[in-house]
Structures are given as C-alpha cells and as structure tokens.
Structure 1
Amino acid sequence: MAVSQTAGQSVTGNRLTIPGAAGSDQGQYWCEGRLEGRKVTSQRSDSITVAALPKATLTVEPKWHPLYNGETVTLRCEVESYSNWTYSWYKDQAQMAVSQTAGHSVTGNRLTIPGAAGSDQGQYWCEGRLERRKVKSQHSDSITLTVALPNASLTVEPKWHPLYNGETVTLRCEVDSYSNWTYSWYKDQAQMAVSQTAGHSVTGNSLIIPGAAGSDQGQYWCEGRLEGRKVKSQHSDSITLTVALPNASLTVEPKWRPLYNGETITLRCEVDSYSNWTHFWYRDHNQTATSLTKEYSVNITGAAGFDQGQYWCEGRLEGRNVTSQRSDSITLTVAALPKATLIMKPKWRLLYNGETVTLRCEVDSYSNWTHFWYRDHNQTATSLSKEYSVNITGAAGSDQGQYSCEGRLEGRNVTSQRSDPITLTVAGVILPIALGVGFCLIVLALIFILFQKHRRNKGEIVMLPN
C-alpha cells in the first residue's frame, strides 16, 4: 500500500520526506515508477529499512559483586557497531551526566572508577550521541554498583572462659560469604601475623591452639585477604583468651584446734567458680583418691583417732579434660576428751568449822568452759559456773563430802572427763578448846606444886641450927 501524506510524511516529485522520524515510521521502504500516458509500471526498487533508535548496552568489568573499597571498576557503553558515537554517563536519579571531577575517568566508551568508595555506590546507565547527526540512543539498562567495606568476624569454639591449661581452642575468622579469602592472625599489639611455629595450627579460616598454656593468653584478631584482588578486610574485633591453671582450695569448718573425739567437722574443696567439678579426696600419702563426690564438702561426724591425718583434694571438670592442681594439705588432729583437774586451796587435810577453802576446776587452756560441779555420788550437777573456782566460806559440817567437776565447752558439743574427787572433811572446834583448857589446868597445877615445894624447901632451910 502506497505511503500516504496523511501519516505526516511529505511526497514531492521523486522524494518521500519523513520529518521527525518516530517509532511508527520504522520499517522497510521501496518505490516503483509509473509512466504517464502508458500503462507501464517499473519493477520495484530494492528496499531500505528505517530502524528505531538504537539502545545503548552497558557492561561492567570486572563483574565482582560486591565491589570492595579501593578496587577499580570499568563501565563500558556500546551502541551498535558505529565507532563515531560519543557517550554520556548517569547515576541514580540524576539527569546530569557523571562528571570527571568526582574522581571518575571517562575515555571513549569507558567510565573508570579507581579506588571505589561508599559514595560510588548506586545505579549507573549511559546513552550514545551520534556525531554530526542529532541522534541520541536509547538509555542503557542500569547496572547497580555496591561498594562494601569487608569486615572480618572472629568467633571462638568452645566458648569456655577461662580456658584451662592443656585444653584446645579454635578461633574462626570469616569475611562475607566468599570462600576464596586467605586469613592472617594477630595477637596483642603485634603487627606481625601469628606463626605456626608457636605450636598453633592454621587451617583455612581457623587458628587452632592445642594444649593451651599461659603464653597463649592475650588478645587475638584477624583479617582476610581476597585472592586475585588487592582487597584486605578490616581487622575483626579482638577476642581475649585467658588460660588459667585451676587451683583447688581446701578449708575446714569450724577451725577448732584441736578437734575432740565425737565432734563433727566439714572439709570444703573449692575450684574456681564452676559448679560442675567432681571432687577427689586424698589422705596422707595415698596417691589414689579415697573418695570422690559431686559435692564440694565432706563431713566427718563423731571424729575419732582414726580420722587423724593429712587431707587434700583436687577437682576434675566434667565434659572437659581438666584436672585442677591439688590443694594444700590440712592436718587433722583428733584429741581425746580432756580430763578436768580439781585443786583445793589451801590443801588442809582437815578443815575446821568457819574456815574458807577454794575448789578450782581446770580443763586444758580454753577459757570458754562452763564448769559443772558434783558432790558425793550425785550424777546431776549441784551447780554450774563460768568461773573455774568455787569458794566455801564459813565451812560447816554440811559442806563435808566428795567433790568433783567437769567442763563443757561453749559452742561445741564437748564435755570433759570428770575430775578425780576430793574429799572435804569439816571438824568442830569443841575438842581443841577442851584440850587447850585441860592443858592450861595441868600447867597451873604443876606451877602450884612447884611453888609449894619451893616454899617447903625454903622453910626447911630456916630451921637449921647455927
């Protein structure tokens, strides 16, 4: 069908003019001639194609995603096979071409971004302009550039804190999801990577420390390096490893010295603050544990002589191959119940009515005994006193008898053995007075007799002759 002028096209002579070509004008065109006055039509001409505006094609090299800080990327824009196109570059919603002032470099159909940074992220597209013709290509499809700052992430397995001597720990470093990172490890303030010569083992993204010791303590961090690209991750956050030598601590409660027969005492073994230790108990020079328990304490009830000895303990941590150091030893001495000693002052064998005597009860060197006093065969104390002595003043016959005592230690279920008894005898004063009076009368009688004899002797002397 012949092209009509109604479509906005203009036919003048042997010319068809299409002003402001649009998409509706594309297609194949040909022509033929007809000779006026003769029924003659020429053969059709070869066809000419009127095409739509070409579309720019945008590619990126290299095709890394994401692009990392500091890397260089090149965007390439192409429009068909023409070589005389010039290109404009656009970013995000901007209708203005990307300028070289942003640090970008435009050469021919290439836009180069050296040392990419976060500000270079976004959507890019391009278009071509045909020199000497007022023709612009269609915009290319957009390409999104993501510029990432790779961060290393450091984890530790197992997450025990503290780590104990001899245990194995693994540090794992990860950067994004790429598998082609290589990793460097650092410790404390050292800028030099941790080497395997220190007994550490580096495998892939893992640093393994077998048989940890005090020298392995410190702060560790890592970084990744991307193979085939000049990319280094940021340092990971540091992880502090503490390698402890667990020590068992043995205490005794109560701290009585000595321990008396029949008393109860508790030995307590503590290893750090963990609750899942199994406690092994040793006695004297035995290298094999005499007992083991999940409880950290052992009670000795009704202590006796056979409980005496040196005790120590150690802990073994469940689920981990860890044994603490042995505790210092504690020597347990179990003494026989002390015997009370009863002393009388003054030590008169015979006490007379009205005199004063002091009974003193002594038990070891402790001052906190309560003293119980017994008389004759009575099994119930006649009195008790914090004082260790009892005074009997103005003794009388009713005070006579056998006295004994015992001590009971305050705050402890301890009673001493009873003292040997002392017999107290109180005599009246009648017999001594009678004897004294009788003695005086005898003396007076003797004096009287001697006096009379003296008088007789004197009289005899007077009667002698001259």
Structure 2
Amino acid sequence: MELSQLPLVLLLISNIHSGNTEGETVTLRCDIDGEGVTGWRYSWYKDGSNSVFSELQEHTFSPVTESDAGKYFCYGAERGGSRTSNIGDEVTLTVDTPQAVLSVSPQKWLTEGDPVTLICEVYGSSTGWTFSWYAVSSDYSNRYNLLSDSSRGAGGNYTFSSAALKHTGVYVCTAERGKPGYYTTYSNKQPVWVTGVSPPVSLIISPSRTQHFTSVSLSLSCEDQSNSDRWRVKRYTESLGLEDCSSSVWASQTGSTCTISSTITSDTGVYWCQSESGENYHPVNITVHPDVILESPVHPVTEGDTLTLRCLYQHSTPPNLRADFYKDGSLIQSQTTEMIIFNVSKSHEGFYYCKHSERGESPKSWISVRVSRSESQISVLHTLSSVLAVCPYLLVTVVLIFKCCRMRVLISHIHSGNTEGE
C-alpha cells in the first residue's frame, strides 16, 4: 500500500499548552481517519523509543509530572486486518514545576505597630491553591517553622496587623492543590525587619553609615545600658542566608563586637543583634559597593531633626561628589555635594540614592523617620490634662444628679404620707 493510501492519523492532545504545570491533567488522544475499518489497535511512542508507551486511544496523565515531558507520536493497526496507518506528527509535551513566589507588602522595613502582609503566589498556574507560611529558623539547622496561626485555603495573603520585634526574620511559603495533595517547592526567602522605638540594645556601626566601600574595615557592636557581652551579631545575605559572626569565616567577634577586616560586595545584607534567648533587635541594612555610595544615618531620624546626605566616591580626596539626589526614584536635588533636609517629617521617609554623570549611582538606602518621644509625651500629657480639667465638672454634675434624685425621693415620700393622712 502506498503512503498516500494510508489512513490519516490525527493526534489530539486535550488541555495541553506551552508549559503545562505539574499537577494538572493532560490527555493524549489518537484519532485515525480510515474508511471501512471497524477497529484500530493503537500504539504510543515517546522520545523516539521503539518500546510502546501506551496502547490506549486516549492516554491521560493525572496529574502530569515533570517526568512525563517529552515528544509523543501515535500509530495504528487494523484489528483483524492488514491495514496500518501512517505515523502521526510528533507533539512536544512540556511540563513546568510550579514555583511559589513570596513578596512583602508594603515594604520589608517596618516600625513597631506597622501592618505587613506576606503574599504567596504560584506564577503561570491556575487557581485552586491553598497556602502555608513558614519562618526560617535563626540557628544553623535551617528549619522551616510553620506559623502557628498559618491559614490554609483562605487565599495567598498572611498579615501581621501590628508588627512586633519578634516578627523580625526570614519567611518562605508553599502551596498545595488537589487530592492527593500536590505541593510546590518552597518559595524564595523574604526578610522582614522591624525596628523598635526604644530597643534594649543598639547596633553601633563604624564608620557610622549604612553604605560602605569595598576593601575597607567595618566594625559592628551591640551595646546595651549594662555594657554586657550577652549579644551576638547576626546577618542575612542573599548569597549565604542566615549567619552568625562568632562562627564565621567572613568576620571575627570579640565580646559583642563583630569585625570585618576587608569588605566585599557579598557582605551586603541585614545585620542585627541577637540575645542569648534568641530575640532579634535593631536590624540595619548594610550595603557594600565600589566607587559611589550614599552617606546616610544608621539609625532612624527623629521628626523635627535635620537629615544630611552626602554622595561619596572611593577614589578621590576629598571623596565628596557633586551629584543628583533622588527619593523613591524622583529627582529632588541636583548637582550638590550634600543634601540637607531641615525639620524632618514622616513624609520624608523613603528610599534615597545619589547619581553622578560619570562615576555612576549609589545603591538605595531606606531612611526611616520616627515620632519624637517628647512629642509623644506632650500628647499623653495633653490628653491627661484634658481629662483632669474635665473631671471637676463631671464630679459636680454627678453630685447634682445624686442630690436631685434624693430630693425627688424625699418629695415622693412626703407626698405619699400626706395622701395616707387625708
């Protein structure tokens, strides 16, 4: 039989698309257009193999897995006859492993009391996922501890309505779908850093700025009122994750002071103080960068204070540059060696960086602004004084009401007595 006389093979694949996701259902179906043939015996082949993969007209992967990916074609032979089909066109089945992606809104840097939401999504996949969130253990076990009140099946958001110091840490999420359950891999890691209004310890950095040049010495000290050595410096970097200064190869710790002898760009990360009981305090974002950096304060700026920013260049003396200054991506001052903001307010909070036309631009630094303690105290005192001012009037009003009530009762008794005597 010549090729042109062979029955036509139609290879149909249901629910297949570019980049099918593990856990979905995918069906391969082989239809043969052959007149006068009452029944066909089907043979499926995968990736050019001579072995028959399946003998069903319709083969279903439920759920489809990464190992099912490949090139498929089908072939038919007449049951009880001699007719055979031609070989169908090859179809490629691709299968992607679903990946959970974690993000933080509105930002990773918070002050105590701020709300923050962990958003877990499965990109390139349909709905129907339930989510779980985990905190990465701060020791070297790298355990993922399920949040005790982690909600499953309630959407992809997990919210701390009022961030506390204990929420400082690194988080991941996973997603599950179907029965039996199919799980994604753990998501990317997302840090959340909560700065206390009055932390029991301060992270002192020398030189005192958040951005530093490469190949310089950097000192980080945890200092409290008792000047104790019970603190250790910890850090989180994108390349190495959670690390302890006291048992590292990148630095050395003496007492509560951590010293990096020669900085490199991979030292960029978040550094903080950890107590003996595992509590985390005073996180500071440190960036190590060659050439151009922004000199900005390490600690949050208090409302009403003055904020000074400078653009520094590593290979010049003095290192100051005439540069443009930006806040949240918008130009706010151009061609000056420093930018000064008087009477800082909450509206000045944001990401700042500087840019030089020839040297390049610095990394971004987050400037946090906090309410002054004196203003808070004044507000409390004002409230108390208002209450105390009103108290005498309230007291007089209560006494008058009480006397009026007693007078009404007395008059009622007198009236009742007169009525009985009549």
TM-score (norm 1): 0.39
> Larger relative CO (CA 8 A, sep 6+): 1 or 2?
2
TM-score (norm 2): 0.43
